[in-house]
Amino acid sequence: MATPQNITLIGAGNVGYHLGRRLHAAGMEIVQVFSRDAEKARELAEATGAEAATGLEQIQPGASLYILAIADDAIAPVAQQLQPKLTVESAVVHTSGATPSTVLAPYFPKYGIFYPLQTFSREREPDFSTIPICIYSPKQELEGQLAMLGRQVSQSVHRIDDEQRAVLHVAAVFVNNFSNHLFHIGQEILNEEQLPFELLLPLIRETVDKVERHPPKAMQTGPARRGDQETIIRHLAYLKKSPNFEKVYKVLTKSIGEIY
């Protein structure tokens, strides 16, 4: 069993862009990079020494691994389009936390998952060494290869099956997507009053630092935790002008109140 050495990357979005460059830096050969956007394909191909492809018909057989880092809903249709281009022996994985690996099964018997559990944005360079890489394949040999590939880019590699990954993704949506949305709401509220968002940054950092050592439940503070109704009423009165934020405030206040 060997680490997949030559990889074709389908997708040059947030994940494709960072993962492709990291795999290349770790010594993997990136054979082709596909994006429908010629500029994105060219830029990532240049950064990884790969050939750029803008049509799936240009994808060649023979790579030891095909990584689909594309929108969740595009995984199955793209796999279907790739099937006639590749051999039945081709190993094909996707990078989605929320999509079962089995969407690939009708097209490629050697299918699996290579899911980096982190939030990726093009403009922000991630530190791959600490990112949990969640790998899975029903084919033992491919799973072993994915684990080896994961270890080339990170110290944190985990076998997580489809069911576990679906649950992990729900939790990730809470801690990242929803938290970030709440940061956005905080910023909007301050913008409205011409106050700088930077005032909140130490608070955001401390919130995250605390949960590294203590359970989040024990670290909860604020009016909902204390049951300070007068404060909650004042906050809701302020939020009347922003019905969407008011709704979010009410839902979260109720959720916290039900716990303590």
Ligand X SMILES: NC(=O)c1ccc[n+]([C@@H]2O[C@H](COP(=O)([O-])OP(=O)(O)OC[C@H]3O[C@@H](n4cnc5c(N)ncnc54)[C@H](OP(=O)(O)O)[C@@H]3O)[C@@H](O)[C@H]2O)c1
Nearer to ligand X, 11 or 224 (CB): 11
The least CB distance from residue 77 to ligand X, in Å, is 6
Residue with tokens 């998952």: 113
**By CB under 6 A, is residue 21 in contact with ligand X?**
no
User: In the Cβ-directed half-sphere of 188, how many Cα atoms lie within 13 Å?
Assistant: 12
Q: Which is nearer to ligand X, 180 or 244 (CB)?
A: 180
Question: Under the criterion CB under 6 A, does residue 11 sit at the interface with ligand X?
Answer: yes
Of 70 and 149, which CB lies nearer to ligand X in the complex structure? 70
Binding mask 28-47 for ligand X (x = CB under 6 A): -------xxx--x-------
Decide if residue 112 touches ligand X (CB under 6 A): no
| Residue among 78, 104, 113, 232 that touches ligand X (CB under 6 A) | 78
Check the CA dihedral 142-148-149-151 and report its sign.
Answer: positive
Distance CA 46, CA 24 (A): 11
3-state secondary structure at position 39 = helix
Smallest separation, CB 151 to ligand X (Å): 18
Separation CA 133–CA 165 (nearest Å)? 11
Least distance to ligand X, CB of residue 117, Å: 7
- For residue 59, the minimal CB distance to ligand X (Å) is 11
Q: Which of 27, 45, 32, 20 is nearest to 114 (CA)?
A: 20
Largest CA distance in the chain: 67
| Among 72, 20, 67, residue whose Cα is nearest residue 48 | 20
Closest contact distance (angstroms) between CB of 43 and ligand X is: 11
Does the footprint of ligand X cover residue 96 (CB under 6 A)?
A: yes
Write out the two tokens for 110.
């050697």
Which residues of the chain form contacts with ligand X (CB under 6 A)? 11-16, 35-37, 40, 69-72, 74, 78, 95-98, 115-116, 119-120
